[in-house]
Structure 1
Amino acid sequence: MEDERLPEVSGLAATDDGYVVVNDSSDVDNRRRIFFLDRDCAVTRTVRYPSRPRDTEDLARAPDGTIWVGDIGDNDRVRETAALWKLSPGAKSPVLHRVSYPDGAHDAEALLLSGDGTPIIVTKDSGTPGLYAPARGLRAGQTTPLRRVGQFTLPRSSTSNPFSIFGRQLVTGGAVAPDGSRVVLRTYADALEFDVTDGDVVRAVTQGTPRVIPLPDEPQGETVTYGPDGTALLTLSEKAEGESAADPVLLRYPLADREPKPSSSPGAATPAVPDDTRPDRDRAAESSQDLPGRFVGAVALTLLLLVAVGGFAIWRARRRPSGRGR
């Protein structure tokens, strides 16, 4: 993803013809947008907020195309309210809905939608994230209280990531599958996928047992979503600091034993991906792991050639006529 306006993508959703993304909090005006991308990750249009968001961390896309942006980041836990921005299909700008926690400020980076379209915030509390939902219907121009609807404990993990043990204990993003049958939450190290029954995302996360999908060594993985057909997870890291840092790369993780399912729009195409859909990082790792074997093979071949050349030289020397015969 080469667009200079997208160095810190923190929210990602797939559509039938591309993606929708938002940046983490930014002081740069042209980065504070909702960005629509094509399948090649080129920006096709942007939508402005009517007022400045504070810390957008995730987004969720409803089956009807409504986009919810979670303005829920609070690293210092000082905000009196968090916010949810709702962009309805065809709208020119999103509508702001303020929300407040019942038990003090929380930092959060994951936003989910239940089967009935209710937004669910998953906090970034270490080890045991909390789930919060509006206590009543959201209304623009008012602050809606949240209620704590549950919590869950992150499973133990040894997956390599830039933040070691801490990276395995913090939820940084989430998404619901296109057909609503599964929900995924991610840390800096792994994706945790739960089965959903009757649209009850809260029960799935708080009572279910997740399938753990390693996402090893992503630079700063804060996004996850499903592809349009639900057969793969897509992730994108924030860009590392420094002028020489590589541009973020959209990675695709195929889900085992997952048959393609139709998306919400019949006949819609899925994003184009290579035949080998593993992340490039994994292919590079396999190549590096095979280097010792290649080195041993090369040495053996060299020794064999030296022996052959030596034998040929001896054979030639024995066949060379002596000086006495001349």
Structure 2
Amino acid sequence: MGQDHATVFGPGRALGKIERTDISEASGLIAAVGNPHHFWTHNDSGDKARIFLIDRSAAYKATFYLGGITARDWEDIGMMERNGRHYMVVGDIGDNRGKRPYVQLHVFEEPVVDVGKLTVDTILKEQIRTFTLKYEDGPRDAESLFFDPQDKCIYVISKRELEVGIYSSDLPETPVDTMILRKVGKLPHTFITSAAISPDGTEILLKSLMEVFYWKRRPKESIPAALSRPAIKLPYKPEPQGEAISFAHDGRGYYTLSEAALGMTPFLYFYQRL
């Protein structure tokens, strides 16, 4: 199942708590690029199609609505760079009953915010590219995705199997007909709730409700090959319902964020690289 190696990153430190009541089920987290030292997050199923910007103390800064988009079950969020511009990838990939014939990815350029004032704005439908995908081996529940900056593919990790699946697809610049998520590997873990990749693509994080797993990628190594090795278990401070994880954009560590559960307020935690 992996080896303990607590010397890579230090213990979790709470940076601040989520005071904003409409960020109640934070399911995805990604370090902002155009808004340094900030993070984008979103709620789980049942919310409107919107993303929130918070700072390193978890203080709310902005809300952006995705105009014309319906959020069915948003579960994770990623970042990708193309032609020097940064785009966000929101995964509408949740499927508790494993019956959705198709899932969706919404891709749009990262908004840049004047963090000196609170912002509520809309990203217009024509600025959003929606990709429709299906799994080659039938519907899967999933809560984890990342875009690999090296091979330019999207990766989705399924959730509920005793050995979760690793699925991958190209992500062209413009949507095409239904794309296929092909199974490229599996992992000896279950209930994976979030995934992250470092900005240079050399490190990978996966998170379950109670553990964080880490892989260091070798030069020119594929994602399936990297994930075929045993994971290193990283420090993790259990959260009310910990679902989200992200690398720091500057590589200094990683962050986790939880849904609000059991009457407990979620905190943004930071695990510093040693």
Q: After TM superposition, is the score higher than 0.5? A: yes
Q: Give the alignment of 1:41-60 within 5 angstroms.
A: 41-49=58-66, 50-60=68-78
Report the counterpart of residue 232 of structure 2 in structure 1: 211
Preserved contact between residue 57 and residue 268 of structure 2 (Cα < 8 Å) = no
Identity of aligned residues (%): 29
TM-score, structure 2 normalization: 0.79
* Higher RCO (C-alpha 8 Å, min separation 6): 2
In 2, Cα distance between equivalents of 1:72 and 1:202: 20
Q: 2:210 aligns with which of 170, 189, 195?
A: 189
Deviation, 1:116, is: 3.0
Aligned-partner residue type, residue 160 of structure 2: D
Tell me how far 1:4 sits from its aligned partner: 1.3
- Larger Rg over CA atoms: 1
Write the letter of the residue equivalent to 2:40. Answer: V
More helix by share: 1
Aligned with residue 230 of structure 1, among 251, 257, 271: 251
Separation in 1 of the partners of 2:170 and 2:234?
Answer: 33
Q: TM-score, normalised by structure 1?
A: 0.67
- Answering whether residue 148 of structure 2 is matched by residue 126 of structure 1, we say no
Match of residue 43 from structure 2: 23
Can you give the 5+ residue segments of structure 2 that lack an aligned partner in the other structure? 1-17, 112-122
Distance (whole Å) between structure 2 residues aligned to residue 233 and residue 43 of structure 1 = 19
Instruction: Give, in whole Å, the separation in 2 of the partners of 1:250 and 1:135.
Output: 32
CA contact (8 A) 1:239 1:247 kept: yes
1:86 aligned partner: 107
Judge conservation of contact 1:195–1:208 (CA < 8 Å) in 2: no
Structure 2 contact 169–182 (Cα < 8 Å) conserved: yes
Give the AA of the match of 1:201.
I
**Does 2:85 match 1:76?**
no
Distance 2:38 2:110 in 1: 16
| Shift in Å, 1:227 | 1.4
The C-alpha deviation readout for 1:180-205, integer Å capped at 9, x for no partner, is: 21000011111111012336323211
Selected match of 1:178 from 193, 199, 204: 199
Q: Secondary structure at the match of 2:242?
A: coil
Alignment match of 1:248 (pick from 266, 271, 274): 266
- Deviation for aligned residue 1:216: 4.1
In structure 1, the gaps of 5 or more residues are 155-168, 257-326
Amino acid at match of 2:222: D
Name the amino acid aligned to 1:55: D
Matched positions, count: 235
